[in-house]
């Protein structure tokens, strides 16, 4: 499988390292705006470096492209890739509006190409075990969920970037950039959200978007929950998700099951194991490539077997829809029904 990488920042380095760990995968082309970073990344994997996207998309052989550019460019670039016959695996979020997501989904479907989104938290072993138990009905009726993403980013995280912290290219702040992984997990594990009330503020960073947000969620199943996301919570704390079903409560911290208090024990669900430090809490650099590697492997399998990626375009769209509804609720001060969503601008 011949892959191209679009983008030359931190996350594209992670994409490269993860892809090169997979047998039979070769990175053949890298494209980025910063010539120095692009050349360095291309050299590290023996690929051809491009600054011109048209020339990059025309590179052959190339089967698929991994997009790690600013979020607001994902759909536009993915559509161009699809026009050139390339499968598309895009970094989260799929884009920053549902309209853009819809356009990308349509372009890939019309070209009969695969579209996937990097939501690698879905591949964590404990989370997969929990998902399996939910699907088997072992936990009963969903009742309550609480997710806390109290992370910290220093001022230079935003100051050193032309796009982070902007509506145009980041699409939001702590929620759309950092918290979007947790939004995806809430939807994947607890189901569709039907309405939301939220408040977002910019507490300490001189940016256009929020660095702190709290949302109250009503799920279609009747369950309720809340979500906190921040890049203002010094020094940064491990992500924690507490979930209660009619059969008991499971607490996940840093993608590990910390405790599972259930009426009837479920095989594979147990807590108390040592928890590694959550590097995401205070750093944007991803050193552990296992999740990204699993997503790339799954995506390649979907191409080869004509299957559906673990997170396809439609599921990637759901997290953007919910995040956008949270922003709309904060802007208006009103509860926002998800089925009557106004796109925040």
- Write out the DSSP string of 224-289: EEEEEEESBSTT----EEEEEETTEEEEEETTEEEEEEESS--TT----------GGGT-S-----
pLDDT value of position 209: 98
Asked whether the beta carbons of 325 and 336 are under 8 A apart, the reply is yes
| Model pTM score | 0.94
Which pLDDT score, from 0 to 100, does residue 345 have? 38
Q: Identify the three-state secondary structure at position 69.
A: coil
Count CB atoms within 10 A of the CB of residue 208.
14
Q: Can you give the pLDDT at residue 284?
A: 77
Distances (CA, A) of 14 to 115, 256, 299, 321: 19, 22, 16, 26
- What is the C-alpha separation between 209 and 231, in angstroms, rounded? 11
What pLDDT does residue 267 have? 85
Number of helices and strands in the chain (H, E)? 10, 14
Neighbours of 307 (CB within 10 A): 13
Domains of the chain, first to last = 2-120+292-312 (3.40.50.720), 122-280+318-340 (3.30.360.10)
The bridge status of strand 240-245 relative to strand 142-150 is antiparallel
Report DSSP state, residue 344: P
Look at residue 288 in the predicted model and tell me its pLDDT.
87
pLDDT means over runs of 10, the chain (345 residues): 96 97 98 96 97 97 98 98 98 98 98 98 97 97 98 96 96 98 98 97 98 98 98 97 98 95 89 66 80 98 98 97 98 90 45
Supply the pLDDT for residue 86: 98
The predicted structure's pLDDT at residue 202: 98
Cβ-based neighbours of 245, under 8 Å, separated by 6 or more? 139, 140, 141, 142, 143
Token pair belonging to 254: 């840093």
Unique residue bearing structure tokens 């989370």:
127
């Amino acid at each position: 499988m011949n892959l191209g990488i679009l983008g030359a920042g931190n996350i594209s380095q992670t994409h490269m390292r993860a892809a090169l760990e997979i047998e039979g995968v070769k990175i053949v082309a890298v494209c980025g705006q910063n010539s120095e970073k692009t050349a360095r990344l291309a050299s590290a994997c023996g690929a051809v470096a491009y600054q011109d996207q048209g020339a990059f998309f025309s590179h052959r052989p190339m089967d698929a492209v991994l997009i790690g550019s600013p979020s607001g460019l994902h759909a536009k670039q993915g559509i161009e890739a699809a026009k050139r016959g390339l499968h598309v695996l895009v970094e989260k979020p799929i884009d920053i509006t549902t309209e853009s997501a819809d356009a990308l989904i349509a372009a890939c479907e019309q070209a009969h190409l695969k579209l996937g989104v990097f939501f690698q938290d879905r591949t964590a072993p404990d989370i997969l075990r929990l998902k399996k138990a939910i699907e088997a009905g072992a936990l009963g009726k969903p009742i309550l969920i609480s997710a806390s993403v109290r992370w910290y980013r220093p001022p230079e995280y935003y100051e050193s970037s032309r796009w982070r912290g902007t509506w145009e290219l980041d699409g939001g702040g702590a929620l759309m950039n950092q918290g979007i992984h947790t939004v995806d997990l809430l939807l994947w594990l607890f189901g569709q959200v039907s309405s939301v009330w939220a408040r977002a503020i910019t507490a300490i960073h001189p940016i256009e978007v929020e660095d702190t947000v709290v949302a109250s969620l009503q799920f279609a199943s009747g369950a309720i929950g809340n979500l906190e996301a921040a890049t203002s919570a010094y020094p940064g704390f491990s992500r924690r998700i507490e979930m209660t079903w009619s059969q008991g409560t499971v607490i996940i911290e840093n993608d590990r099951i910390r405790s599972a208090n259930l009426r009837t024990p479920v095989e594979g669900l147990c807590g108390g194991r040592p928890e590694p430090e959550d590097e995401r809490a205070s750093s944007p650099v991803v050193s552990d490539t296992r999740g990204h590697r699993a997503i790339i492997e799954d995506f390649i399998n979907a191409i080869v077997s004509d299957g559906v990626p673990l997170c396809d375009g439609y599921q990637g769209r759901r997290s953007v829809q919910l995040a956008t509804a949270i922003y709309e609720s904060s802007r208006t001060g009103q509860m926002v029904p998800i089925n009557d969503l106004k796109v925040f601008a």
